[in-house]
Homo-oligomer: A and B are copies of this chain.
Amino acid sequence: MGVQIESTVKDPERIRERRKQIVRASVELFIEKGFHKTTTREIAKASGLSNGALYEYVKSKEDILYLVCQHIHQEIHERLADSLSSHETALERLRHAMTSFLSVIRDMEDEVLLIYQESKSLPPHHLHDVLQNEQVITDVFVQLLQDGLEDKSLELTEETIPLVAHDIIVLGQMWAFRRWAIRDMDFSEFVRQQINMILRTEPDHSSILRT
């Protein structure tokens, strides 16, 4: 799954191991200084590898960026998937998922920001794959909305589902990429409001329109 990154090394266990080191170090560095201003030497050093060894697990600096993006998406997706509940109605499951998603975003705000800012530096092939991963995460919500359509706990039309799902993602990721504007807001308040923006469940607030 995803694009295969070549390696000179044969032992797959070791590859996994070393790449984990590389990714861990790189995430930190990329967050701190950005992809372009981070040197491969720094990455090697922070990974506990020599300059040469780094290139046995990766073919280019861009590969590292890809690995980083993939790793971040994986973690987000895993944590989101793990938190999927089995409440009776899709509405309740959706609300729960949104809450979980938002809390993942908060935990990984730097990482989310990283993807927003650096993924454009990926070569087309890898970029495509990263965007696909973003879609995979979005699809979790597409599914939940679909469920709501079926069990009628949500009222919406089929055609709007894709965009609504993206809205959910984006209104959540905002916490990461608009930090500067929201920093003084309480996170739980943010959660409450964004969920309400999507669902309008609060009494007498099904719309911000005056009835």
A25 CB within 8 Å of chain B: no
Q: Establish whether residues B207 and A131, one from each chain, have CB atoms under 8 Å apart when the complex forms.
A: no
Q: Establish whether residues A205 and B155, one from each chain, have CB atoms under 8 Å apart when the complex forms.
A: yes
If over half of A's interface residues share one DSSP class (helix, strand or loop), that class is named, otherwise mixed; here it is helix
* Chain B contacts for A34, CB-based, 8 A: 120-121
- A193 touching B163 in the complex, CB below 8 Å, given contacts A131-B181, A171-B170: yes
Total contacting residues, chain A, CB less than 8 A: 48
| A205 closest partner in B (C-beta) | B155
* Chain B contacts for A177, CB-based, 8 A: 116
- Residue from B134, B155, B211 in contact with A210 in the complex, judged by beta carbons closer than 8 Å: B155
A6 CB within 8 Å of chain B: no
- A209 touching B117 in the complex, CB below 8 Å, given contacts A164-B197, A166-B182, A181-B138: no
- Name A residues whose Cβ lies closer than 8 Å to a Cβ of B: 34, 36, 91, 116-117, 120-121, 131, 134-135, 138, 148, 152-156, 160, 162-164, 166-167, 170-171, 174, 177-178, 180-182, 185, 190, 193-194, 197-201, 204-211
The 6 A-B residue pairs whose C-beta atoms are closest, nearest first, are: A200-B207, A206-B207, A155-B210, A36-B36, A206-B206, A156-B208
